[in-house]
Amino acid sequence: MAETALVEPSDRRVASRAADRWHDDAAGRRRAMRRHLDRLLSAIENRIQALPEKVTPAEARSMRADLDR
């Protein structure tokens, strides 16, 4: 039977610090990505609002009703 390696408490703390750093890095990247996405979505929404309407609201409702069938 294979021997099981005992993990010293100091080894666990090193792994824990590495895990903490990894988690903090991932959380930071998630926050940065969220900021970028929020800016991108805002820019897209502003561009959409700046475009002229291509169909009337009544035509849009009619098209949507056709899709819902």
Structure confidence at residue 1 (pLDDT)? 47
Angle of CA points 37, 41, 43, to nearest 5°: 115
Tokens standing for residue 36:
């970028």
Q: Taking residues 22-28, what's their average pLDDT? A: 95
Would you mind telling me the total number of residues written for the chain in this entry?
69
Q: Sorting pLDDT into bands at 50, 70 and 90, what band is 11?
A: low
**Proportion of the chain above pLDDT 90, given as a percent:** 41
- The answer to whether the beta carbons of residues 55 and 63 sit under 8 Å apart is yes
